[in-house]
Amino acid sequence: MSDAALIDPFSRPISYLRVSVTDRCDFRCTYCMAEQMTFLPKADLLTLEELDRLCSAFVRMGVQKLRVTGGEPLVRKGIVTFFEAMSRHLSSGALKELTLTTNGSQLARFAPELAALGIRRVNVSLDTLDPARFAAITRWGRLPQVLDGIAAAQAAGLRVKINAVALKGFNEDELFPLTDWCAREGHDLTWIEVMPMGDIEPSRLEQYWNLRDLRRSYEGRFTLTDLAERSGGPARYVRIEETGQKVGFITPLTHNFCESCNRVRLTCTGELYLCLGQEDRADLRAPLRASPDDGLLDAAIRAAIARKPKGHDFDYSRTAITGQVTRHMSHTGG
């Protein structure tokens, strides 16, 4: 067993693990899933104990931030047990942050327990404040349930960041309403460019709302100050001077911030994806199950990190999308 830090071939320390704990979800967002999804057989999923062992190996090798995602992480049966297990790494100081990305549907139920386990912040995906639009984009979701979840998270002391996917012809006219609502409620807000994941209609080109255009719309009304804050990912932040609020832009397509990438992604079946935009992955389930000792697992993790690619190849041009990956975001975890 070796505890040396994970450093990739481009000298980037790997300090951030995103783990998808399920591919299932109680919503069917049109840009993320088909309405009729075939989910993985339950036997293929890592058990919660296996997820614990895997994530703990990463923490031992220097991962300081763990984000739990999916699918919808809070629909995984027994998920609080997993958060409980991970919270021991918060207590020991090895993990600096334990957090999750959720659609918010189950937050009303789980927020108090999550807060008690040391979770301080939660990202909630919310693309619209219009109930009819919300039902249309999520197919199975209902807005009031999510708003109740967000309120419960706040009441439990969790800081909420809203993640909104920027969708042309869908929420363009909600740029200011959503921003104003976040300012009033005290939530940070991050806009995400729609990414070419999975084979889902309608075509990505029709949905693509360039965040440069979105920023220009903000600039027509507000004064924006660029912030130096970096998370090692593709997000860049500005402060809106008039309201004081922080707004993020996740632009893996118009910009490429791969040079500072500090993250890898683990699927619920134990595949380690080295880059969100590349197909290359390593199977960690086999070495995990082959031996109760972590020797094989550690070697497989190190071998995978040693081939982390320099960056992704996503590119939207006006007529075609290149660099598209065929898996859905719910598989790798967004």
Would you tell me which residues interact with ligand SF4 (CB under 6 A)? 25, 27-29, 32-33, 70-72, 103, 125, 330
- Run of H or E including 162: strand 159-166
Q: For residues 143 and 54, what is the distance between their CA atoms, to the nearest angstrom?
A: 35
Strand partners, 159: 121
Nearer to ligand SF4, 103 or 262 (CB): 103
Nearer to ligand SF4, 28 or 239 (CB): 28
Nearer to ligand SF4, 15 or 145 (CB): 145
Q: How far is the CB of 26 from ligand SF4 (least distance, A)?
A: 7
Residue 167 carries which DSSP code? B
Q: Pattern of binders to ligand SAM over 26-45, x per CB under 6 A?
A: -----xx-------------
Q: How far is the CB of 73 from ligand SAM (least distance, A)?
A: 6
**Binding partner selected for residue 33 from ligand SF4, ligand SAM, none, CB under the kind-specific 5 to 8 Å limit:** ligand SF4
**Binding partner selected for residue 194 from ligand SAM, ligand SF4, none, CB under the kind-specific 5 to 8 Å limit:** ligand SAM
Distances (CA, A) of 26 to 22, 68, 106, 162: 11, 16, 10, 19
H helices within 117-241, ranges in order?
A: 131-138, 143-155, 175-185, 204-207, 211-221
- Burial label for 60, CB within 10 Å (0-12, 13-18, 19+), is middle
Q: Are 23 and 331 in contact (CB under 8 A)?
A: yes
Q: Pattern of binders to ligand SAM over 290-319, x per CB under 6 A?
A: ------------------------------
Q: Pattern of binders to ligand SAM over 130-169, x per CB under 6 A?
A: ---------------------------------x-x----
Q: Are 105 and 146 in contact (CB under 8 A)?
A: yes
Nearer to ligand SAM, 128 or 163 (CB): 163
Does 195 bind ligand SAM (CB under 6 A)? Our answer is: yes
Q: For residues 200 and 321, what is the distance between their CA atoms, to the nearest angstrom?
A: 13
Number of residues assigned to the chain: 334
**Binding partner selected for residue 245 from ligand SF4, ligand SAM, none, CB under the kind-specific 5 to 8 Å limit:** none
Distances (CA, A) of 164 to 175, 194, 201, 219, 244: 10, 10, 19, 19, 19
Nearer to ligand SAM, 28 or 302 (CB): 28
Residue numbers of the site for ligand SAM (CB under 6 A)?
25, 31-32, 69-70, 72, 101-103, 125, 163, 165, 192, 194-195, 197, 329-330, 334
